[in-house]
Structure 1
Amino acid sequence: MEEQFITRALASAHDAHAVERLASSLGPGPFSLVLLFVSPEADVPGIVSGAARAWPDARIAGCTTAGEISGAGYEDGSIVAIGFRARHFAAQTLLIPDLSQLAASELSEALLHVRQSLARDHGHLPEEFALLFVDGLSAREDELASVLAAGTGAMPLIGGSAGDGTNFRETLVFDGRRLLANAAVISVMRGACPLRAFKMDHIRPTERRMVVTEADPAARIVRKINAEPAVQEYARLIGMQPESVDTLTFAIHPLTVRMGERHHVRAIQRVLPSGELLFFSAIDEGMVLTIAEPHDLVDHLAGELQALKQPGNPVAVLAFDCILRRVEAQEKQMTGRVSELLRHHGVIGFSTYGEQIGPMHINHTMTGFAFYPPGTILSGSDP
C-alpha cells in the first residue's frame, strides 16, 4: 500500500456532523497540522471548536474562503481538510491577533524562536517552509508580508487571503483556539517531503498604461486615474461604459504594476458607489498601471501543472487560487475543464482574495507548494 504523507477530506458546509466526517475521512493520524478551508456558509465557530476536539494533538490553522478546491476540483459551500502526518511533518502555529498593530521586531523574534525550536526538536526533517492565512479584507497583507520577510529569511512562504465568497463582508482566520477577523495565522513546518513553491499567472501586459493621480493608499482606494474619475477613465481605456464595469471586467481586463523585470497584478475588488475603485492590494499615487490581457486559462494551467510532475509526480499540490481566476472560468464556461485539471493533478486548497509568495502580496495568480516523495531530487528555482 502506498504510504500517505498528506491526506485530504471534504464535507458539506451544511452538514451538522461535518467535523466528524472530516476526521473519519482524514484517518487516524496522528497529524502534526490540520488545515481547514471553510465556506462562509458554514457554522464557522462550530467548525473551529469541533476541530479542536477532533484533533487535540494537532496544530490547526485555516480560514474562510471564496470557494474551495477539493480532490474533485472547484467546490462551493464545502469544507476542505488537509492533514500532515506527524511521522513526516512537524508544525508550530503563530497567531497574529491584530493586524492594525503589527510589531515588526517582536514578530520577527517570535518567528525565529519557532524556527529554532522546530530545528532543535525535528532537525532530522530537512525541509523547512511556512503557510500563511490572513484576513482578506484587512488591507494589511502587503505590510504583513514585508514584515514577515525579516523572520522567514530564505525559508519559502506561501499563503492565501481569507475570503467571504463574493460578499466581501467578513473574512476570518483561526488557529484552533481563536477565530478572528483582522488577524493572520502562520504555520511554520519541517517535513520529509521535498517541495517546490510555484506561482501561476496567465496574464500578459499590453502597451496601454495609466497613472494613479489621486488615491487613499491606506484604504486601497483609487479616486482618479489620469486626473479623471477612476471608473470612468478605466472604462474608457478598456472600451466600455462605466455602468457596465463589474467583477468579470476586472478578471478580463486586469491591471498590473511593473517591479523589476516582472509585472504583478494589482486587482480591483469592486467599484464603490462614488465611482472610486477599491483594490485587493497596495496602491499609491503616482503608480503607473498597465492594462493586461489573460491568455487561455485552461491551456496555461494545464502546462503549469504538468511541469510540476518533473522529475516525478507530487504526493500533493496545495494551492491558493485568486477568486478572479474562478470568476473568469465561470464566465467563460471553463469551470468544468479547470476542475478536471485540478482533479487530475491532485490539487487541493481554496479560492482567495489575494495570494502571498515570499515577501510579496499579489493577485490573479495561483500560488502554492507541490510536495514530492522523500528522496526526490528537485532542480530549478522558485518563482
Structure 2
Amino acid sequence: MPNPRRAPFCNTRRGRVKAAPPEFVVIGDSRAEDPAVAVAEASESLRGRGLCFVFAVLPDSLDVEETSALLSQEFRGVPVFGCSSAGQITTDGYDDQALLLLGFPRKNFRCASMLFQDLRPDHATAFAARAQKEAERFRHTAGWNRFALIVADGLSKQEDLLVSTLDAVLGDVPIFGGSAGDGLKFERTYVLHDGEAHSGAAVLLLIETDLQFQGVAFDHFQPEGAQIVITSADAEDRLVYEINGAPAAEEYARLVGCAPEALSPEVFAENPMMLRHNLTHYARAISDAKPGGALSLLAAIDDGLILTLGKAKGSLEALHEGLSARDAAGQPPDFILGFDCFLRRLEFEHKQLTKEVSDILRTHRVIGFNTYGEQKSGLHMNQTFVGVAFFKPEARVLN
C-alpha cells in the first residue's frame, strides 16, 4: 500500500516567472491550510467575471465537505463542479497543496450537468439513458462546439464501464476526463456537483463553447518487456492473484527485476503492464501489492488477458511533443485542461524530473490535476496524459 507519510510532491513554485495568463479561463489558487482562507484567496480573481461555471480541484490537505460548502456559498448562482485530487497542475506546474479554481466565462461557455450516484454496473444503462436525454435537451448554439467532461470517484472501480457506456450514447460528442484522487492515501475520493461533495459518484458536464478545441492523449511507454498472462483475477475488485501461473506480486517482481518486498508505487509507476486494444497499447497500472501477494489495479482486468511489460522511452520529449498542439492557423492553445495520471508524476519525481516537467507544463499553459485514471474515446486508461486544448474562436465573416 502506498505510504501516505512519504515526502510530499515537490512544490516547484519558487523562482518561477509566470507566463501571461490565458484569455478564456479565469484561474485562482491558494495554499492556505484553513478552508475558509483558501476559498477566499482562490476566489478573489474569479469574482465578478461573468462565469458560466467553476471547476474546483481540491488538495488532500483540505476537508472536502467543508471546502465544497464554502465554495457553494462563495459562488451563489454559479454552479461549482470538480473533485478531490492526487495533485494539482497550476500555472506554476505541479503542486500538491493548492486549492485550484478554474472559472469558465459565460461569453464563451454553456454547460449542462448530471450527477451519477451509487456507481454500480447495474446502473450504467440508466445513467446512459439520462445522458442521452440531457444531450437531446441541451440546446445547440449555432457555430459552437460541443464536448463532455467526466470526473469520477477514483476508488469506485466503475470508470471503465461508465465511460464506455456514455461514449456509446453520446455519439459524436467527445468525452474527456479523469478520476478523482486523495493524494497517495487511497482511502476516499470525492466529486463535486453544484457545490456538494459526493463519494461513489461521477459528474458529467455537457459543454458548448465558441472556442476551437482538440483532444490530447499520450504516454511514454513502449511494450518491450516480458509477456504477462493473467491466470487468476477478480474482475470486479480489479485484483490479480496469479501471473503466468505464479503468485502475482512474486512473478511481477521477478519480471521487473526486484525483490517482492521492494515493490513500491515508484516501481509500479516505472513498469506498467500494457494491454493491446485496437492496435494501440494502454497501461494497466498497479496501485499496490496486497497482503498475500495479490496486485491491485487501477483499470479493468480479467482472467486470460495477455499483456506486455512496458518500458519508459523519452518521457520529457514525449511530454513536450504531446502538448505541442496547434490550430488550423498554426497557433498554440490558449490553455490546456489536463488530466495527468499520478503514477506519471511519481515516476518524474523518482527520476528527479519534477522541475523540468513543471517547466514544460507551464510553458504549454496546462492547468488541471493528477488523477487515478484518465478517460478519452470511451476508454478508461492509466499512466496517460489526457487533455483538452482550447484555441481562440475562428474568425467569422459577417454578411
Q: TM > 0.5 between the two?
A: yes
Matched residue type, 1:11: S
CA distance 1:184–1:376, shift in 2 (3 Å): farther
Partners in 2 of 1:105 and 1:243 — Cα distance?
Answer: 42
Equivalent in the alignment of 1:381: none
- Between the aligned partners of 1:333 and 1:359, the Cα distance in structure 2 is 33
> Of the candidates 230, 240, 257, which is equivalent to residue 239 of structure 1?
257
Secondary structure of the residue that 2:249 maps to in structure 1? helix
Identity across the alignment (%): 34
Task: Give the conservation status (yes or no) of the 8 Å contact 1:13–1:38.
Answer: no
Among candidates 290, 302, 306, match of residue 284 of structure 1: 302
TM-score using structure 1 length: 0.94
* Deviation for aligned residue 1:375: 0.1
1:324-348 Cα offsets, whole Å, 9 max, x none, are 1100110000000000111111100
Q: Which residue number corresponds to residue 350 of structure 2? A: 331
- Secondary structure in structure 1 of the residue aligned to 2:331: coil
* CA distance 1:182–1:240, change in 2 (3 Å): same
Secondary structure of the structure 1 residue equivalent to 2:317 = helix
Residue 314 of structure 2 corresponds to: 296
Whole-angstrom CA distance in 2 between matches of 1:302 and 1:350:
18
Aligned-partner residue type, residue 143 of structure 1: L
Q: Report the Cα distance in structure 2 between the residues aligned to 1:68 and 1:166, rounded to whole angstroms.
A: 13
Question: Unpaired runs of 5+ in structure 2?
Answer: 1-19
Matched residues, number: 375
How many angstroms apart in 2 are the aligned matches of 1:302 and 1:101? Answer: 38
Name the amino acid aligned to 2:379.
Answer: M
**Could you say what secondary structure the match of 1:206 adopts?**
coil
Tell me, yes or no, if the aligned pair for 1:59 and 1:92 is still in contact at 8 Å: no
Residue from 150, 161, 166 that aligns with 2:168: 150
Q: Which residue matches 2:337? A: 318
Q: TM-score, normalised by structure 2?
A: 0.90
Counterparts of 2:389 and 2:304, CA distance in 1: 38
How do residues 136-285 of structure 1 correspond to structure 2 at under 5 angstroms?
136-285=154-303
1:5 is displaced (CA, Å) by 1.9
Counterpart among 98, 117, 131 of residue 78 in structure 1: 98
* Distance in 2 separating the partners of 1:349 and 1:13: 19
Report the CA distance shift for 1:101/1:277 in structure 2 as closer, same or farther (over 3 A).
Answer: closer
How many Å apart are 1:101 and its aligned residue?
A: 5.9
Q: Render the CA deviation track for 1:123-145: whole Å, top value 9, x for unaligned.
A: 13511011110010111111111
Question: 2:22 & 2:164 partners in 1: Cα distance?
Answer: 37
Tell me the alpha carbon deviations over residues 112-162 of structure 1, each in whole angstroms, 9 at most, x when there is no partner: 232233325xx1351101111001011111111122123321111101000
Matched to 1:114, the amino acid is E
Is the aligned partner of 1:370 residue 2:389?
A: yes
Other-structure match for 2:9? none
Q: Find the counterpart in structure 2 of residue 58 from structure 1.
A: 78
Letter in 1 for 2:30: A
Shift in CA distance, 126/309, structure 1 to aligned 2, threshold 3 Å:
closer
Kept in 1, the 8 Å contact 2:22–2:365? The answer is no
Task: Identify if the C-alpha distance between structure 1 residues 376 and 253 changes in structure 2 by more than 3 Å, giving closer, same or farther.
Answer: farther
Report how far residue 303 of structure 1 moved. Answer: 1.7
Matching residue's letter, 1:358? S
1:29 maps to which residue?
49
Q: Is the 8 A contact 2:219 2:385 kept in 1?
A: yes
SS in 2 for 1:99: coil
Q: For residue 226 of structure 2, give the secondary structure of its aligned residue in structure 1.
A: strand
Q: What is the rounded CA distance, in whole Å, between the counterparts of 2:393 and 2:302 in structure 1? A: 45
Contact 2:227 2:309 in 1 (8 A): yes
Closer, same or farther in 2 for the Cα pair 1:233/1:3, shift >3 Å? Answer: closer
With over 3 angstroms needed to count, the CA separation of the structure-2 counterparts of 1:44 and 1:3, relative to structure 1, is closer
CA displacement at 1:100 relative to structure 2: 2.0
Structure 1: any 5+ residue segments left out of the alignment?
Answer: 378-383
Residue 108 of structure 2 corresponds to residue 108 of structure 1: no
Cα distance 1:13–1:220, how it changes in 2: closer, same or farther (>3 A)? farther
CA distance in 2, matches of 1:356, 1:316: 19
Distance in 1 (alpha carbons) for counterparts of 2:322 and 2:395: 19
Q: CA RMSD in A?
A: 1.9
> 1:163, 1:171 within 8 Å by CA — same for their partners in 2?
yes
Aligned counterpart, 1:380: none
Give the whole-Å Cα distance in 2 for the aligned partners of 1:352 and 1:96. 19
Q: Distance in 2 between matches of 1:277 and 1:227?
A: 14
CA–CA distance in structure 2, aligned partners of residues 4 and 300 of structure 1:
27
In the alignment, does 2:127 pair up with 1:88? Answer: no
